[in-house]
Amino acid sequence: MSLKIVSLFSGAGGLDLGFKKAGFNIIFANEFDKDIWATYEHNHPETYLDKRSITLINENEIPQCDGIIGGPPCQSWSEAGSKKGINDKRGQLFFDFIRILRAKQPLFFLAENVSGMLAPRHKDALEEIKKTFEDAGYKLYFKLLNATDYGIAQDRKRVIFIGFRKDLNVHYTFPLPVENKLVLNDVIKDLSDSAVPAINKSKPNSNVKFSNHEYMTGGFSSMYMSRNRVRAWNEPSFTIQAGGRHAPIHPSAPKMIKVEPDKFIFAENKDKYRRLSVRECARIQSFPDDFIFKYSDLNHGYKMIGNAVNVDFAKILAKSIIQALPV
C-alpha cells in the first residue's frame, strides 16, 4: 500500500509527479492560481484539487496523510523578486504550511524554496522558520542542493527542508551527487527543428506539431542583455525561470559577447537567437512529453514550468525519504 501525500502550493504538480513516480499516492492538492487549475486537473485526474487560498483552509478539512509536500511561494525570497522575505505576505505562507503540518502530524514533510532565502538579510526569518518546524514536532534536515549534481540537465539551486516526526527517530542523509551529468544535448536535441513561434509574441500557435512546442517572441530587455543567456549543447541549462521573457536562448545560437560590465550583445544576426520553447523548458524540468500544459498565453506555460520542482529531482528526494522511513 502506497503512502498517502497531501500537496500544498502544488502548482502544475512537478513535485507531485516526482513523488508519484517514486510510488506515493497524492490524495489532496491545493493551488490558488486559477491559471494552473486546468493543467493540474488534466495531468493529475486522480487527485482532488482544492482551489482556495491556503489561508482559508481549516486543518480539519485536510485528510490524514503520511506526508505533506510543497513549495510555498518564493517570489519574496528571490533575488529577482521583492526580496522582502518573511515581511511579504507570500513569505508568510510558510507558516500556513507549518500550521497544517502541526495539526496533521504526518510521518514526514518536504518543503522547497529558492536559494535566495539564504541571503544574509533573511537570516533571522530563516532561523524562525527552522525553529517553527522543530517546534511542530519534527527533526529538520536542511540543505542547498543543485539539480545538476543529480543527473538533471539544469543548474538549479534550491533549498530543501525535509523533516521527520521526532518520535520516529529517523536519521536522514541527503542523496549523494551522481557521476552521470546530463547536458542539453541529452534532453532537447530531438526538438531542435520542430519549434514554432508564438502568435502575437505570446499566444498559442495552432500549427504546433508537438504539444506546447512554441516559443515566445519579442524584444529582450536590458536586464536580459546584462549577461550571457546561451548555454551550449554540451552544458546544462541555466535555471528555468518563471516567465517567458526570461527563458534561456536555444543552444544552437553562439554565446553572447560581453561589451561592457553589465552588457552583452548577440554575436550574429539576432534572428538566430530564439528563446527555448515551452516544451523544451518542460523537458529540462523533466516533465514527460505526455504532460500537457493548458494556457491561453505562453507566459502562463513558462511560469508553471519555472515555478515547478524538477520532476526527476523530486523523484530522487522522494526515494531517499522512503529509504529513511521505518515503514
What is the reported pLDDT for 75?
A: 53
What is the average per-residue pLDDT within 53-59? Answer: 92
CA distances from 123 to 67, 82, 113, 120 (A): 27, 16, 14, 5
Domains of the chain by start residue, with CATH: 4-176+310-324 (3.40.50.150), 184-305 (3.90.120.10)
Query: Which residues, other chains included, contact 45 with Cβ-Cβ below 8 Å and sequence gap of 6+?
Result: none
What average pLDDT score do residues 209-230 get? 95
Greater confidence, 258 or 72? 258
Mean pLDDT value across residues 97-124: 90
Give the span between the Cα atoms of 88 and 74, in whole angstroms. 10
SS3 236: coil
The single-letter DSSP state of residue 205 is -
pLDDT for 18 equals 98
Q: Is 281 a catalytic residue?
A: no
**Cell numbers linked to 52:** 482556495
Predicted local distance difference test score (pLDDT) of residue 251: 97
Residue % of the chain over a pLDDT of 70? 94
Query: What cell does 103 get?
Result: 495539526
- With a cut of 60, say whether residue 90 has pLDDT above it: no
Q: What is the mean pLDDT of residues 224-250?
A: 96
Give dist(CA 12, CA 2) in Å, integer: 22
The set of cell numbers assigned to 206 is 495552432
State the residue for C-alpha cell 491556503: 54
Q: What is the pLDDT of residue 270?
A: 81
Catalytic residue among 69, 74, 110, 308: 74
